[in-house]
Amino acid sequence: MSKILVTGGFGYVGSRLVPHLLSLGHDVRVLDLMLYTGAGLEALQADPKWPEWEKRFALVRGDLRDAEKVRAALTGRDTVIHLAAISNDPTGDIDEVLTRQVNFDAVGMLLALAKEAGVKRLINASSSSVFGARTESEINEQLEPEPLTFYSKYKALSEWLVLSAAGPEFCAVNVRPATICGYSPRQRFDLTVNKLTADALRKK
């Protein structure tokens, strides 16, 4: 059993990941500002397995930029799955400073505090958008990122922080998901497949 902290654990991805981790027997703590309602938490508590999971679950309500909240959330954890972010290109363009603070500055703080707390593994959710618009026939991890937006720019920069923090005692990796889709208790309709599906159903 791992003791896992999931940042942004009640966002679109986290609301599906957290119950999955609990079903696997892990001890899970979530750090989340709950900016977009508590739908993920409500769905978790409504799950028939909640009475079993509850003893292995904890929630820290807080901002990823708040060092004391982050430090409290990291206490006793051996693994971090970092999902929390300003999470798409249009939102990132509204406020570059906020996007930088959350998607870059706070990642540096999280890494430092995680190592201080004795965390052994960190998985950082980056984005395939860091590649930008490319003409190459094969897009792979060996290509240099060419981000086009504030969101992708700070995602790319945060990857370098993660890589530079990695070492023999601290396994830190980046993953670059393509555009995600599907159902989540904290549903999003700004994602291509979700939007097209919703339009097909509603607008025919």
Span 161-174, pLDDT tens digits: 999 999 999 999 99
Kindly report the three-state secondary structure assignment for every residue of the chain. Answer: CCEEEEECCCCCCHHHHHHHHHHCCCEEEEEECCCCCCHHHHHHHHCCCHHHHHHHEEEEECCCCCHHHHHHHHCCCCEEEECCCCCCHHHHHHCHHHHHHHHHHHHHHHHHHHHHCCCCEEEEECCHHHHCCCCCCCCCCCCCCCCCCHHHHHHHHHHHHHHHHCECCEEEEEECCCCCCCCCCCCCCCCHHHHHHHHHHHHC
Q: Does domain 3-203 have CATH number 3.90.420.10?
A: no
Q: Could you tell me the pLDDT band of residue 179, with boundaries at 50, 70 and 90?
A: confident
Q: The whole model's pTM is what? A: 0.92
Residues of the chain above pLDDT 70, percent = 100
Whether the per-residue pLDDT at 25 is higher than 90: the answer is yes
Residues paired with residue 175 on neighbouring β-strands, in sequence order: 125
Q: Which of 106, 155, 105, 108 is nearest to 130 (CA)?
A: 155
Least confidently predicted of 60-69, 117-126, 147-156 = 147-156
Q: Residue 92's beta-bridge partner residues?
A: none
pLDDT surpassing 80 at residue 90? no
- Position 129 scores a pLDDT of 85
Domain residue extents for the chain: 3-203
Residue 119 and residue 78 in contact, taking contact as beta carbons nearer than 8 Å: yes
Is the pLDDT reported for residue 76 higher than 80? Answer: yes
For residue 38, the model assigns a pLDDT of 93
